[in-house]
Structure 1
Amino acid sequence: MTDAEELLPIAVDIAREAGELARRRRSEGVAIAATKSTIADIVTEADREVENLIRARLAAVRPDDGFLGEESGAEGGTSGITWVVDPIDGTVNYAYGIPHYAVSIAAVAGDPDPARWAALVGVVYAPAIDELFSAARGTGAWLGTQRLAVVHATDAGALLATGFGYDPATHGPDLERVRRVMPLARDLRRGGSAALDLAYVAAGRLDGYFERGLHPWDHAAGALLVTEAGGLVDGSPDGVPGRQMTIAAGPGLFERLREVIGS
Structure 2
Amino acid sequence: MPARTFDAAGTGIDPYRRLSASQTNLWTSCPRKWFYAYRHGLKGPMPPVIIRGNAAEACLSRIMQESPVLIAPDSTTLLTSPLTADKDPDYDDTTNWLAQRLDARPEGDWPDSREALETWALARLDFHFDACWEAAVHNWKITKNRSGSIEDADEDECRVMIAAGIRMHLDEVERCLEANGGPMLEAWRAGEARPDSPAPDGFPLIWNTPHKAARSSGEVTWCEAWELARPWFVDPDAGP
Indicate the TM-score class for this superposition, using the shorter chain for normalisation. under 0.3
Which is richer in helix?
Answer: 2
Q: Highest relative contact order (Cα 8 Å, sep 6+), 1 or 2?
A: 2
Radius of gyration: which is bigger? 2
**TM-score normalised by structure 1 residue count:** 0.22
Which is richer in strand?
Answer: 1
**TM-score normalised by structure 2 residue count:** 0.24
